[in-house]
Chains A and B, each alone.
Chain A
Amino acid sequence: TQLLKQSPQFLSIQEGENLTVYCNSSSVFSSLQWYRQEPGEGPVLLVTVVTGGEVKKLKRLTFQFGDARKDSSLHITAAQPGDTGLYLCAGLPMEYGNKLVFGAGTILRVKS
């Protein structure tokens, strides 16, 4: 059973479009993280959100942590081909202490 459910699984869009990726759970998390992974490489951390309702911006990327700390979203504005990759959410479920669990990921392809 996947603790973190990501949607959509796949997303193919044109350069310049906006998109949102979702990460949902029935469990409460002490923190959530977003990673980006390119083929043949390990995931690279983009951001960590800790406080319920927190919003963080990283250039064209906006991350939000739900008020109840059970879900998160990643919004990309004006997507570029360089944004192509696998986006993974990960977090520490409070019921499991320090165990870092991952969602299945969203594969994003941005066409030029």
Chain B
Amino acid sequence: EAGVAQSPRYKIIEKRQSVAFWCNPISGHATLYWYQQILGQGPKLLIQFQNNGVVDDSQLPKDRFSAERLKGVDSTLKIQPAKLEDSAVYLCASSLGRMNTEAFFGQGTRLTVV
């Protein structure tokens, strides 16, 4: 079974530029998560989708971050404009959903904002 695919693996941008990350979850997984992980810390949930609907985006900085999950499969996370403090690893995870929340993670995208 293929795992969660994320791209790109690494991205370096200047502050005020925009960037987009892509995630392809495990086939059949209804729930998709985007987490931000700053070096040395645990993942912080940015947004959670159930199929193509948003379940929780309470910690998403909506003035600069946006995410979508068209057709309830792939998802993209965008930052525009980026700030220095956005430097982090962005992890995508998926789970079957409903009562099964065992999350499977991709390798993440390491973003460096300079």
Contacts and interface: CB of A to CB of B under 8 A. Distances in A.
A41 B45 contact: no
B61 interface: no
For chain B, the bracket of interface size reads 20 to 34
B91 interface: yes
B65 interface: no
For chain A, the bracket of interface size reads 20 to 34
B105 A103 contact: no
A98 B55 CA distance: 8
Interface in A74-112: 88, 90, 92, 96-105, 107
B45 A99 contact: yes
Contact of A33 (B4, B102, B108): B102
A42 B107 contact: yes
A40 B107 contact: yes
A105 B41 contact: yes
Interface in B22-46: 31, 33, 35, 40-45
Nearest to A31: B101
B87 interface: no
Contact of B102 (A40, A48, A104): A48
A104 B103 CA distance: 17
A52 interface: no
A7 to B, nearest CB: 13
26 contacts: A6-B42, A33-B102, A41-B108, A42-B4, A42-B105, A43-B43, A43-B91, A43-B105, A44-B105, A45-B103, A48-B102, A97-B55, A98-B31, A98-B50, A98-B56, A98-B97, A98-B101, A99-B48, A99-B56, A100-B95, A100-B101, A100-B103, A101-B45, A102-B42, A102-B43, A102-B44
Interface of A: 6, 31, 33, 40-45, 48, 88, 90, 92, 96-105, 107
Interface of B: 4, 31, 33, 35, 40-45, 48, 50, 55-56, 91, 93, 95, 97, 101-108
